[in-house]
A and B are shown apart, each in its own frame.
Chain A
């Protein structure tokens, strides 16, 4: 703990002691990545946000990971799990010869210790903990799950955020970040940069690279994640050659990047989908007719056009999963399309809407949320709703959202998860508090199904229920725009950008 009593004078004297790190670094082989912000911590179990997962996937590895179809394939596991007939016992064999960054060997003890912490700290882990009878090592190279009841999404949960650390480093509050990934953590200066260097003794899984699966090679000697919260600054930095990669750029900058000689724009198809989630616990939208009136009134095309300004960056599709995804289906999709103010007005009439204002919560920290809200307000007012648009910063939004008395609709976005049952509105406790018998019934059918075909029909049933109960309005699918400096080869766009197999420019 630095003695800071003389802090006031030393703060002025910082001039002399400016901590310039003059580590000589190999001229070649550095990748500078501009991210949307500083990760609160590198503990992906406790804080599974996108920015943390993006950086952590280079340092830590999970038992399984997602391939191009977002199906779970082995990573630290050597093969798919051997599941007993009754589906209650899962044996997962582990790969041999894998070592941690600190040189210690990787074995089942590390897996058990890591997953036990995961089941205490991680929100998905806690749900899994409820249905797990026991977890034990089966020799040094395998672990066995004993389940209380069948649980289809288990494989998906073991492919995200359930990172494996050496058992010695497991603690309530992680302090040393040692993993098995292709890169090691060298230094982290909050709000300035997180510096990773190549882990030379890395043992890569086999197979042709597809999404996060397959061969991983740490070509760049060093990767440096630099938090640049302001989107425009990321764009200007990319164009002026300061960054090798700039994440989550405003789509309006596409043409500028395309024309610039320093970088090329990279589009990641179907990065996610914005939604207007409704409060079914208290207030106006407890009435189903009004919820359906909201769905009817809105025109997704105009909302997406305002937010993403160009057809190249969005598509309008009622199905919750877009084409090309295993879970894509149009089953049950209704009240989605052109926006029908008259129809909505009739529903308002029927519901006896008395003009109390509809409170919409949004934030400008995600500019497209705000733009969608602006257009939605126009269409809802055209249908006869009174709208009170509340623009707050993200921290206030996440707090108000937890209190059912303070809002009717909040705008957010999410990705297309590997397992459909992990979609936010499916869990009862997620703000909006969507609870209905037909939902519970459809979910249990899904959980109980084992084969892929069974899961798909169960999901189609669930999607139909979701559209009928109308807990949210899916606006559309948007593509992510990022920018890659010219001369950098081998980058393949994925939901969490990864930089193994990528060769930095000379």
Chain B
């Protein structure tokens, strides 16, 4: 077993190294940012002296190296630091906003896969037919549409126009889980549609690639029906590239969420970063970028583990 353990440790070390690089880069970026949280916090008619006092109180005037040391040590303890603006720890702020972003990403991926996998497979099997050409054209157009533009149109038509769904926000404190989810329908569609186009195209390409392989011809020579050939033999082999693209699009969804959350006024992680940058809330910017990077690294790890399940040739 030690080979497996050693390999896992190696992966873990790799992941931590990546996060260390990300943390350092984020720390540098944020420190180079002009605009000073103290100035923003105190409002426009604060005197330079007031700003200097607040800076020292929050510890912003300590030498960079000290601040970096504190930041990295904090990370090891899992403490992402204290938000300047929100009066709570970055961890709590992120956790409070995790729900909308998590569900937005989850729904978008579910919508994307629900559409993309069957359509992608079917258009690959039915290559060259009218259905295939329609699918290719639609996915081409859908992946060219900016998700925020689609979002705005959805708001105009469904929320303001027909009043079917809430235009923005995420419900008040008393709104139950179901009512909050209602707020996620339109954003999920805006994000899901664009992403499903990408996944459909990848699924189709992966299936076409696999359908050309020799073992598919062997299966047909055995007298297997077309559906068994496609589902049992071809699809199993196309899963690896498909899993890769789904993993990639989950990461892209988190980025896409930034814009969509702003358009729909969802109090999610994306919205938090945009407001944190506008009010120069360093710890929150650092914490969020790091957590998003960590999620990306985690997704990568999960996809690698899935490879092992799907393809026996892949060893750890």
A-to-B contact residues, CB < 8 Å: 1-8, 10-12, 14-15, 18-25, 32, 37-38, 40-41, 46-49, 123, 126, 187, 189-193, 195, 224, 226, 228-230, 233, 236-237, 239-240, 242, 365, 393-396, 398-400, 402, 412, 424, 429-430
Contact = CB atoms under 8 A, between A and B. Distances in A.
Nearest to A8: B294
Contacts of B214: none
A233 B92 CA distance: 26
A242 B46 contact: no
Nearest to B272: A191
A173 to B, nearest CB: 8
B40 interface: yes
A332 B39 CA distance: 34
Interface residues of B, number: 71
Given A2-B92, A429-B48, 4 more contacts: A7-B95, A15-B99, A193-B172, A430-B45
A241 to B, nearest CB: 8
Q: Which residue, of A24, A48, A190, A399, has the highest number of chain B Cβ atoms within 10 A?
A: A190
B172 A365 contact: no
A402 B278 CA distance: 18
Contact of A395 (B97, B169, B280, B294): B280
Contact of A399 (B39, B169, B271, B295): B39
A224 B278 contact: no
Contacts of B34: 396, 399-400
What are the nearest 6 A-B pairs in CB distance?
A: A5-B78, A395-B35, A4-B91, A190-B86, A14-B98, A236-B167
Majority-rule SS of A interface residues: loop
A125 B231 CA distance: 76
B311 interface: no
B102 A14 contact: yes
B80 A398 contact: no
B44 A412 contact: yes
Nearest to A12: B102
A237 B159 CA distance: 9
17 contacts: A5-B77, A7-B291, A19-B96, A20-B177, A25-B174, A189-B96, A189-B173, A192-B173, A224-B172, A233-B265, A237-B167, A237-B265, A240-B159, A365-B278, A402-B48, A402-B51, A429-B48
B40 A2 contact: no
B35 A398 contact: yes
Contact of A38 (B78, B85, B168, B169): B85
A37 B275 CA distance: 9
B241 interface: no
Nearest to B42: A47
B160 A40 contact: no
A396 B88 contact: no
Given A11-B295, A233-B265, A393 B99 contact: no
Contacts of B279: 40, 395
Interface in B149-177: 155, 159-160, 163, 166-170, 172-177
A393 B277 CA distance: 10
Nearest to B271: A191
A63 to B, nearest CB: 22
Contact of B103 (A2, A15, A224, A396): A15
B85 A242 contact: no
Contacts of B170: 192
A418 to B, nearest CB: 15
B205 interface: no
B96 A240 contact: no
Interface in B238-265: 262-265
A4 B39 contact: no
A34 to B, nearest CB: 9
B174 A236 contact: no
Interface in B284-302: 291, 294-295, 298
B80 A239 contact: no
Given A8-B294, A399-B35, A21 B173 contact: yes
B96 A192 contact: yes
B78 A7 contact: yes
B193 to A, nearest CB: 21
Given A230-B262, A395-B35, A399-B36, A123 B169 contact: no
A445 to B, nearest CB: 23
Given A20-B176, A242-B166, A4 B93 contact: no
B203 to A, nearest CB: 25
Given A365-B278, A395-B40, A239 B160 contact: yes
A233 B275 contact: no
Nearest to B98: A14
Contacts of A47: 41-43
B87 interface: yes
B265 A424 contact: no
B116 to A, nearest CB: 23
A11 B94 CA distance: 8
Interface in B52-90: 54, 77-80, 83, 85-89
A276 B297 CA distance: 49
B227 interface: no
